Amino acid sequence: MQIINNHDYNHIPIHSIIAKVSVILLFLIGITILINCVAAASDGAIRMTDTTGYEKAPSFSPDGKYIAFASTQNGDANIWIVDTTTLEMIQITFDPSEDLYPKGWSPDGRNITFTSKRSGNLDIWTIDVYSKNLTQLTTYLGHDFYSSFSPDGTKIVFNSDRSGNSDIWIMDADGSNPQQVTNDTSEDMIPSWAPNSKSILFHSLRSGNGDVWMIDYDGTNLTQITTHPSDDWGASFSPDGKYITFDSERTGNMDIWIMNADGTNLLQLTDFEGTDMCNIWSPDNNTIAFWSNRYGNGDIFTIDKTATIKVNRFQDTTYASLLLVILIGFLGYLGIRAKRQNR
């Protein structure tokens, strides 16, 4: 039997040791990236609809049991709801014209406000989910759209071009007393209420770029919320007022982002090919609904706000892997030098 002396290891070429260490490190990096890519391939989003139509503009019922959305699954755009537990879908409106943007439930969960062309023009309507009774709230000849009830149920915010430009308006919940909130030469659109039923988030081009802004419904306290050079679109408050989610193209892809209400601790929430947008919170302060074409068709998804942990962990791992690749390259360089010196 041959006994190997420890001093024999001194004769192993240094370039051979470096090569073996590099191979091991590359293998570990490959495994790490593979694991994280598998995790990131699903950002935790749950598919709520899966039809041959196109689903958009979700909104949670006040008890969180249902999500209203617009769908073309039967050909015409109509309003549907889906049970968040059973995923059973129920059609609410039946009209050959377009029924769109069911972005707001009344606080009692009985009525949904939406946009419709059934009168020959884009106007704001409500429908009683139980009786299916319809009420037309606006009759303007221009475009009134994208409406939602205030959390206290007393007012409805909506977009309108009745002033000659796209601006934010409010009216009483019965459609009376319309009042203009914003008045700017740029486009103001996609309004949503803060939990206090006083402030309104909206998308605006007034800074020369698409950003999220906030204003009180009486037109005071205008505040710019985001300032990124890429476009930020629709935003919504969590029901407890602690967070704001918004749609953004800041990574080159339309995704959902989340931050504290004061603008700090900005994190990416969704991370998937395709468009993720039209975010809205559930009453539990944990779940966000949105529409996405990530599987080729527009569908409604939900995601937990803690999904940011997975997305950002994947980013951190990617950065660490890049550093290791640089280290391996350096070790390879040292190995080549050592091999040349031994010749």
Domains, the chain, with CATH or none? 47-312 (2.120.10.30)
Tokens 């982002």: give the residue: 257
The DSSP string of 6-32 is GGGGGGS-HHHHHHHHHHHHHHHHHHH
What's the chain's Rg over C-alpha atoms?
A: 27
Buried b (16+ CB within 10 A) or exposed e, 152-179: eeebbbbbbbbeeebbbbbbebebeebe
Quote the pLDDT of residue 43: 81
Quote the pLDDT of residue 35.
47
pLDDT along the chain (343 residues), means of 10: 49 59 61 48 85 96 98 96 98 95 97 96 97 96 95 98 95 98 95 98 95 97 95 97 97 95 93 93 97 94 78 50 63 62 60
**Of 242, 125, 232, 227, which Cα lies nearest the Cα of 194?**
242
d(CA 33, CA 260): 30
pLDDT at res. 76: 94
Q: What is the pLDDT of residue 310?
A: 47
Please give the Cα distance from 195 to 153 (Å, whole number).
11
- pLDDT of amino acid 3: 46
> 14: which residues sit within 8 A by CB, 6+ positions away?
335, 338
CA dist list (Å): 124 to 12, 62, 154: 80, 20, 16
Which pTM was predicted?
Answer: 0.79
Cβ proximity of 125 and 137 under 8 Å: yes
Give the model's pLDDT for residue 13: 65
